[in-house]
């Protein structure tokens, strides 16, 4: 995905997380769509010569747009992933921004990952 600072980690089962520090939400969405197209265009050759089509479902979330903490970021990406799966798989879904929270006039503290 990106040499140097991208972090890929297995969360469990067939779920992976990809962290792109400093990436804008727009760039992350574009990169997710490019990854989807690359997987679609790369079938797995089987020993009998047949090609097995591959697909992925992507849930994308961006901090601070969709979350203020690592836990919220994971939850937002996970919810987007399951929307992609329920919508037929083989697609990218972007997290929904949370509703604004009531404020007492004080600046919100942001968690640092």
> Tens digit of pLDDT for each residue in 43-86?
999 999 999 999 999 999 999 999 999 999 999 999 999 999 99
Residues across the chain: 113
Matching residue, tokens 């919220």: 72
**19, burial (CB in 10 Å: exposed 0-12, middle 13-18, buried 19+):** middle
> Tens digit of pLDDT for each residue in 1-25?
567 777 888 888 888 888 888 899 9
Residue numbers annotated as active site: 14
CA angle 106–107–112, rounded 5-degree value: 140
Across 100-107, average pLDDT? 56
Name the pLDDT band for 112 (thresholds 50, 70, 90).
very low
What pLDDT was estimated at residue 100? 66
């Amino acid at each position: 995905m990106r040499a140097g600072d991208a972090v890929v980690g297995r969360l469990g089962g067939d779920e992976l997380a990809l962290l792109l520090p400093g990436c804008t939400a727009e760039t992350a969405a574009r990169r997710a769509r490019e990854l989807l197209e690359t997987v679609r265009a790369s079938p797995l050759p089987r020993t009998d010569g047949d090609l097995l089509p591959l697909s992925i479902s992507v849930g994308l979330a961006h901090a601070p747009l969709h979350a203020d903490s690592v836990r919220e970021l994971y939850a937002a990406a996970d919810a987007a992933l399951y929307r992609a799966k329920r919508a037929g798989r083989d697609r990218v879904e972007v997290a929904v921004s949370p509703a604004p929270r009531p404020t007492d006039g004080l600046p919100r503290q942001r968690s640092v990952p």
